[in-house]
Amino acid sequence: MKLFAAALALSAAFILPAQAQFALDSRFTDADGDLIADIPTDAADLVDPDTLIFTYTPVEDPAVYADVWQGFMDHLAEATGKNVEFFPVQSNAAQLEAMRAGRLHIAGFNTGGNPIAVACAGFRPFAMMASNDGSFGYEMEIIVPADSEAQEIEDLRGSEIAFTQETSNSGFKAPSAILSSEFDMVANEDFTPVFSGSHDTSILGVANGDYPAAAIANSVMTRMIDREVVSPDQIRSIYQSATFPTTGYGTVYNLTPELQQQIRDAFFSFEWEGSALAEEFNASGEEQFIEISFQEDWEVIRQIDEATGVSYSCQ
């Protein structure tokens, strides 16, 4: 799949001309050079669990998304002949550690968390939500309360800016790079960074006046507005980035090849229309699962990681 050309329009000050350096942990192999862990060839290294554990990227209220994903999990159970359980996680770190420890088999890792999940946990992403015409992605926005005096990024000098977690692309890495390269604003010098833990919390914090500004994924904001969790008249955007790929879905590397194929097929055969997923995600223009390439579609994210000094240390 081709990444939106707009993503490549990000400032040359932090998007490097060459592909970012990326390497898998030493316990994985990548014989075909696609940047994701190969499926083990020794049957002794493969797992075929009776119950598959699935999780979605951390959100403010995981219970809401357990209901949203139930229809898909029923479809997945039918396609694989396995029990499927939803595992609610409160942080990217908990999600990553669960897959590294073998307690998580299928997941949606957020944009910024995908590379470290691939490098350190053997995550094999293959799908993404997209619109019916195949377009996909979201933008990072920096938002302020609607009644804020801030009209542009420069007005945030000396202020507090809320981020989500350090592994988040739109919630930390991309805005940090943009603030530095485009506006010459450095954390703890020109503004005070705080961490909310999730996009939902940052958006609610701005809407309620708890944060003077926050960097968020606008797809999350769109869904929250659609659910009437926040009102659009509570929030004002003062910056919007180019387009990034959104949550990537995939499996842990050491499930049997047959099971991985069944899971993959389940994503692409899921009947979206009329589902709880459609009700939740159609508001942000997501209407189907499409096939993705981590090597191609996450290149811009790996470049941001390279430019901002992100390390894929798996210790």
- The 10s digit of each residue's pLDDT in 51-88 is 999 999 887 677 778 899 999 999 999 999 999 999 99
- On whether residue 312 sits in a domain, the answer given is no
Do 213 and 272 lie in a common domain?
A: no
CATH of the domain at 213: 3.40.190.10
Q: Which amino acid is at 191?
A: F
- On whether residue 175 sits in a domain, the answer given is yes
Last residue of a domain, one of 224, 244, 264: 244
Please say if the pLDDT value at position 295 is more than 70.
yes
What integer best gives the mean pLDDT of the chain?
89
- What is the distance between the alpha carbons of residues 181 and 252, in angstroms, rounded to a whole number? 36
Strand 288-291 with 192-195, pairing: unpaired
Do 96 and 21 lie in a common domain?
A: yes
- On whether residue 315 sits in a domain, the answer given is no
Do 226 and 240 lie in a common domain?
A: yes
Categorize the per-residue pLDDT at 243 as very low, low, confident or very high, splitting at 50, 70 and 90.
Answer: confident
Do 9 and 131 lie in a common domain?
A: yes
Do 13 and 127 lie in a common domain?
A: yes
Do 253 and 123 lie in a common domain?
A: yes
Per-residue confidence (pLDDT) for residue 60, from 0 to 100 = 64
Q: Which amino acid is at 103?
A: R
Please say if the pLDDT value at position 299 is more than 90.
no
Mean pLDDT of the region 277-284: 90
Indicate the pTM of the whole model.
Answer: 0.78
Do 238 and 251 lie in a common domain?
A: no
Q: How many domains does the chain have?
A: 2
Per-residue confidence (pLDDT) for residue 309, from 0 to 100 = 78
Tell me which of 20-24, 182-186, 242-246 is least confident.
Answer: 20-24
- What is the distance between the alpha carbons of residues 41 and 32, in angstroms, rounded to a whole number? 13
Q: Residues 55, 104: contact at Cβ < 8 Å?
A: yes
Do 94 and 232 lie in a common domain?
A: no
- On whether residue 179 sits in a domain, the answer given is yes
Do 94 and 54 lie in a common domain?
A: yes
Q: CA nearest 221: which of 138, 127, 161, 124?
A: 138
Q: Residues 52, 18: contact at Cβ < 8 Å?
A: no
- The 10s digit of each residue's pLDDT in 113-154 is 999 999 999 999 999 999 999 988 889 999 999 999 999 999
Which range of residues forms the domain containing residue 227? 138-244
